[in-house]
């Protein structure tokens, strides 16, 4: 499993404003089931850290 690569990807993604676009990135399309579960766990952790005020996430861009 590419844990370090996926964790770095998540940390980079939370630094840029999100959009209302739907779909997977090319990197996300390569995830195995195990990697996808790990990715979802990381996103849950980011949400919890944000809710506790431990991190800032840019406001989403909407079109």
What pLDDT was estimated at residue 63? Answer: 61
pTM: 0.82
* 3-state SS record for the chain: CCHHHHHHHHHHHCCCCCECCCCCCCCHHHCCHHHHHHHHHHHHHHHHHHHCCCCCCCCCECC
What pLDDT was estimated at residue 40? Answer: 96
pLDDT tens digit sequence for 6-63? 999 999 998 888 777 778 999 999 999 999 999 999 999 999 999 999 988 888 777 6
* Residue 13 contacts residue 46 (beta carbons within 8 Å): no
What pLDDT was estimated at residue 17? Answer: 83
């Amino acid at each position: 499993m590419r844990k370090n690569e996926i964790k770095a990807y998540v940390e980079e993604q939370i630094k840029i404003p999100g959009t209302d676009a739907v779909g997977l990135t090319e990197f996300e399309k390569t995830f195995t089931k195990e990697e996808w579960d790990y990715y979802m766990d990381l996103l849950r952790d980011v949400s919890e850290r944000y809710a506790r005020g431990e991190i800032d996430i840019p406001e989403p861009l909407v079109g």
